[in-house]
A and B are shown apart, each in its own frame.
Chain A
Amino acid sequence: MTDHDTIPVLAHGLVKRFGDFVAVDRINLEARTGEVVGFLGPNGSGKSTTIRMLCGLLRPSAGQALVAGFDVAREPEQVRRRIGYMSQKFSLYNDLRVIENIRFFAGMYDVPASLLNERTQWVLDMAGLAGRESTITGTLPGGWKQRLALGCAVLHRPSILFLDEPTSGVDPISRRRFWELIHAMADEGVTVLVTTHYMDEAEYCNRLVLIFQGRIVAAGSPTELKQQAMTGELLLIECDQLGLALDVLQQVPGARDVALFGNALHVVVPDGQTSIPRLRDALSAHGVAVSRIEPIRASLEDVFVSLTARLSDRRT
């Protein structure tokens, strides 16, 4: 178990290169006991690579990471004893029965024989699989498989849990239930690092780290991020000819971060009162019929669009 004064996850200047490609570029990271830290970023941004380095699965090209106080590059075995890891694939053996998967991973994690029954029961209860011990794992629905995978990853009661897109391909109700489990564990002092690209899930995290092109572009609580990033006012525009409207809005001076959200557009402007008429005029001049323009509260998705758009502009 981790000492109370060690920071469970601490990374400094972490770099991972694959040939010429820099997947993770000097990332600094800290997660405190009982914290749920969310890694947010598009596919290929380096989230998974970072998590896999922290688990000791990948060797960092440069920089240092301490997990549970141990250096991941030098003492990966020590790190592994103290962490749980679950990937988006729910890596269980589909041809084994539920109970056989549990016993297998209990064996791999050296769960003492005296605790085996208790832990097995705990996992079965948590996953809601009591009574289905002898079901072949492959025949379970996604949500159940996901909870079983989580159970198998925490059989040894790790103090740190890494989850790599744990909810991909799972229905919304199962996702909600999964997050309840995560929070229950965090309440018991488990530190959780989770990657996701579901923006609504990000709201469940205590702290968010936004990664883009291998770099951390913002970090903070969901509320902090929204305040920090959204300088200006966010407007919702409902109109026809969305594609044309998008082009038009991008040409209006002052308007930025224009993005499509469902069947509406979001745009950030310095000041709503003066901008709304200007936008409306610009759109109708191009024959776009506007049914609604009004200021709304920013969601994390807006924050993300806004931050990554600025970065892309700078790089190109």
Chain B
Amino acid sequence: MLRRLRGMLVKEFIQVFRDTRTRTLLFAPPIIQMLIFGYAATLEVRHIPVAALDYDNSQVSRELLSRFTASPYFDVRAYLNDRREIGDLIDRGEVTVALQINGGFAQDLRKGQPARLQVIVDSSNSNTALVAVGYINQIAARYAQEFQRTQLLRTSLFASSQIPSIVLERRPLFNINFDSQWFFVPGVIGNLILVMVVSLTAFAIVREREIGTLEQIMVTPIGRLEFILGKTLPFFLIGLFDTALVSLVGTFWFGVPFRGSIGVLAIGSILFILCMLGIGLFISTISRTQQQAMVSGFFFNMPAITFSGFGTPISSMPEWLQTLTYLNPLRYFLEILRGVYLKGVGLDVLWPQMVGMGLLGSIMLAISVARFQKSLD
């Protein structure tokens, strides 16, 4: 039994490490992707291109617009003279927001009447649009408040100190600067391991089916479990190694703090990789060719990442979808990654996630092993 398993392992490792291309493929892409995703995956909205159209042309309106020029969230790209130009700029995607100040703006404001600032926004990216409108709202509200204060200051010094206001005292925990990289980098680690382990496992088995060596091995006395173990153990080890590799990039390149224990992360990674091996194995049992395996893998990867809380928070999904995410191992792994990285929590907090992955992994592996038997027929 052990001799056969060793034979399988020796063969797998020779195959993986002999080919320079395969060798580089195992380690270079995770690092490169980590770097790319680490920079690109962000929800922060900055430098929103803006066009300004000022029909009022007063000191007040110019001052309001200068608030936008000064803001890091907006880049005023164009000052227009005609509102008909707006549509074209937005169509061509040159600006996302157009601000239109109509004549009489300053007057209304001085009279204490609502002054209107028209905001035309390209909401084809609804998220950016929402965030942009939010920032505009803040800038406008603050400007109005200051305007009111200066007005009152002129009439009575006393009254101006009487304006009621609420001041936020922000005490953000875990990520003081709201750095979105800190949020995304641990997520990217999870995604990378998912894609790597699932596809490597599925391809390795399907390739043997394609070239006929699977059949050749199946006429030897090797047991099904021995074969599966021999086939998955190398990718289990490679998966662990890759996890360590991209985690190091996360910590030392992106400077995401690692506050928890390596041991907890290791346990979480092992359980997660086991789940992914189960999925990879399952895909190999439903695929005759590597092409089919690729497509099937894609059908797993996309929803798994979407419903993991990687980008969109699970709490904002419809209730029935939220329930479904409990079947997604990546959901648990991301909670563990972020818990260990940012919050520094241990098993006392993360044990439910561990149990969840343990259960899912066992079920998936059991189903896949059972299916593997039949898929030979």
Contacts and interface: CB of A to CB of B under 8 A. Distances in A.
Interface of A: 52, 55-59, 77, 80-81, 83, 85-87, 89, 91-96, 100, 103-110, 153
A57 B216 CA distance: 10
Contact of A108 (B14, B19, B217): B217
Contacts of A100: 11, 14
A56 B219 CA distance: 7
B112 interface: no
Nearest to A89: B212
A108 B215 contact: no
B221 interface: yes
B171 interface: no
21 contacts: A55-B219, A56-B219, A57-B218, A58-B377, A59-B377, A80-B220, A85-B216, A86-B216, A87-B212, A87-B215, A96-B11, A100-B11, A100-B14, A103-B10, A104-B7, A106-B7, A107-B3, A107-B8, A107-B10, A110-B4, A110-B221
Nearest to A92: B213
Nearest to A93: B213
B211 A104 contact: no
Contacts of A87: 212, 215-216
Interface residues of B, number: 25
B138 interface: no
A268 to B, nearest CB: 40
B215 A57 contact: yes
A56 B220 CA distance: 10
A100 B19 CA distance: 15
Interface of B: 3-4, 6-8, 10-11, 14-15, 18-19, 211-213, 215-223, 376-377
A85 B219 CA distance: 7
B233 to A, nearest CB: 15
A84 to B, nearest CB: 8
Contacts of B15: 93, 95-96
Given A58-B377, A103-B7, A104-B11, A94 B211 contact: yes
Contacts of A92: 213, 216
Nearest to A78: B221
B216 to A, nearest CB: 4
Nearest to A83: B219
A149 B211 CA distance: 13
Contacts of A106: 7
Contact of A110 (B3, B10, B11): B3
A57 B376 contact: yes
Nearest to B214: A91
A80 B212 CA distance: 17
A301 B162 CA distance: 111
Contacts of B4: 107-108, 110
B284 to A, nearest CB: 17
Contact of B220 (A95, A103, A105): A105
A168 to B, nearest CB: 12
A161 to B, nearest CB: 11
Contact of B221 (A52, A58, A80): A80
A7 to B, nearest CB: 20
A68 to B, nearest CB: 13
Given A91-B211, A91-B212, A109 B377 contact: no
Contacts of B18: 95-96
B14 A96 contact: yes
A91 B216 contact: yes
B213 to A, nearest CB: 5
B162 to A, nearest CB: 82
Contacts of B14: 96, 100
